Chains A and B, each alone.
Chain A
Amino acid sequence: MIWIFDIIILVFLVVTALISLQVKDLLSAAMIFGVYSFLMCLLWSGMGAVDVAFTEAAVGAGVSAVFLISTVLRTKRRSSD
């Protein structure tokens, strides 16, 4: 794997994880969590784990984001922290 991409993706991983936990709007938290999952999927496909990568892309980023958004729509969108 090209090390400069590796470093960039890893730094963005930490940034997106922090933002998705800090943002007050739960819908944007769900979307940024989807971005986090896709970055993780890129990292794994770069490390030669393609099977794990496309499972994460389908299940982690796709289904998890749908679950989170449906929960946000059925409950409240605002978060206190």
Chain B
Amino acid sequence: MEFLETISTKFNYWIYIIIMMIGLYAMISKNNLVKKLIGMSIFQTAIILFYVSIGYKENATIPILYHDQVHGAQHEEAGDQNELSNAVEEAAKEIHVAADEQAEHGLEASHVDHPSSLEINPDHFANPLPHVLMLTAIVVGVATLGVGLAITQKLYGEFGSIEESEILEQIKSAK
């Protein structure tokens, strides 16, 4: 039973391993160059799946603060002081300093609320750090796919084939 639980709760990781090995197999053993590149893309998305699965938490939502969570907290009285609310207070002080400077120049300083408590539990949000890293990986992946397909088109213009074995034969016979 413990074994079944280990498998079912980490199902993403098992599938990630399977998809990655499918991609690696295609890159090595497929004869067609376009098929090889599709295999490379599958390999890349499998790795991205692994990283996104790391950032996932049970019962967690998307890592975005809602309007109520920020502005609702400003009207509440001071709760427990955590690091985040200290940071928000410092930001509010800076706004006050800027507003005072504006007042010196004859402008009417608008009223700035003190955000006294901003309670955010990080357990309720998915970890955004792997997401940000993988955004870059997706763009790099499509760039490598584009370069590979461009080379495939040039090879087809040169050899008249996109099969690896035929291209290798022509190279050998030309020597």
Residues of A whose CB lies within 8 Å of any CB of B are 1, 6-7, 10, 13-14, 17-18, 20-21, 26, 29-30, 33, 36-37, 40, 43-44, 47-52, 55-56, 59-60, 63-64, 67-68, 70-72, 74-76, 79-81
Are the C-beta atoms of A51 and B49 separated by less than 8 Å? Answer: no
- How far apart are the CA atoms of A33 and B57 in the complex, in Å? 28
| Nearest opposing residue in chain A for B59, CB measure | A1
Q: What are the 9 A-B residue pairs with the smallest beta carbon separation, nearest first? A: A48-B126, A79-B32, A75-B156, A10-B15, A71-B149, A47-B56, A49-B131, A49-B52, A48-B62
Chain A positions within 8 Å of B30 at CB level: 21, 81
Chain B positions within 8 Å of A74 at CB level: 153, 156
Are the C-beta atoms of B62 and A50 separated by less than 8 Å? Answer: yes
Chain A positions within 8 Å of B138 at CB level: 52, 55-56, 59-60
B23 at the interface (CB under 8 A from A): yes
Are the C-beta atoms of A40 and B35 separated by less than 8 Å? Answer: no
Chain B positions within 8 Å of A60 at CB level: 41, 45, 138, 141-142
| Interface SS of B by simple majority | helix
The one of A17, A18, A43, A52 in contact with B135, judged by C-beta atoms closer than 8 angstroms, is A52
Knowing A49-B126, A76-B156 touch, does A68 contact B34 (C-beta < 8 A)? yes
A-B contact pairs, 28 of them (CB 8 A): A10-B11, A10-B12, A17-B22, A18-B22, A20-B38, A21-B38, A26-B34, A36-B42, A37-B45, A44-B49, A47-B52, A48-B61, A48-B125, A50-B62, A51-B131, A51-B132, A51-B135, A59-B138, A60-B142, A67-B146, A68-B149, A70-B149, A74-B153, A76-B161, A79-B32, A79-B163, A80-B31, A81-B31
